[in-house]
Structure 1
């Protein structure tokens, strides 16, 4: 029976009450560097050569109002696999086993990585990804940029062509319609 072979714990996406205050903390206290932004509501940070190992996502006003201090909401955590072929094999295994898929297969704008997000038995989002942009002296230069959160290419460079399920409503409502729709 097929079993995925993740190579490392990849990155974590945290929902935060104040993305600017959290950025200052993780940049100035923890020592991370900014790789990219989506609008002014999500920032990608790195400690090594991966494009990001932590991303901070601004909570909505409703989420901020319901937030319990000391309980940091995790949007997802991820595991790296070696290739898009392995992501596709994992997707087939998830479908075969009836594991709920949240989003993917896709390819993000920031980071350039393929992704497949699914739910564990407790409803946590788990992601497998491959092919993330690498940053450092041994790689092509990377200049941080601000991506438009309403553009499809920010969320999925493949424009949902490889998605196994419709995008979650929270994603669909922020994306501009495709030109051919």
Structure 2
């Protein structure tokens, strides 16, 4: 029998500037910033949200092992919210962040979602999505 995966613990973003990235994900998206020391004794930075985290690597100084071709701006992330996208649109506007597209209907891992798309400081595509209520899916 094939073993099964149960979730996503963390992912890694390669970024040009840790400070700009931290400011964006903390101030615009509300993530918690965590510095931690792995077994090698270095200091690393992570962004926490829900039960997940995003570890940050600086381009050209990535921690090993890493992806074969790490580069800033190559990620496309879909982040879930439980609040209305209208509230996010107002918040993003107040933060000076342009919505690239949306709200638009999309397909999430568990069913239909509504999404807005923005870019982080490295140009990564960030999709903020909310699952539609069951009665709206019919």
TM-score range, shorter chain: 0.3 to 0.5
Structure showing the higher helix proportion among its residues: 1
TM-score (ref. length: structure 1): 0.32
TM-score (ref. length: structure 2): 0.40
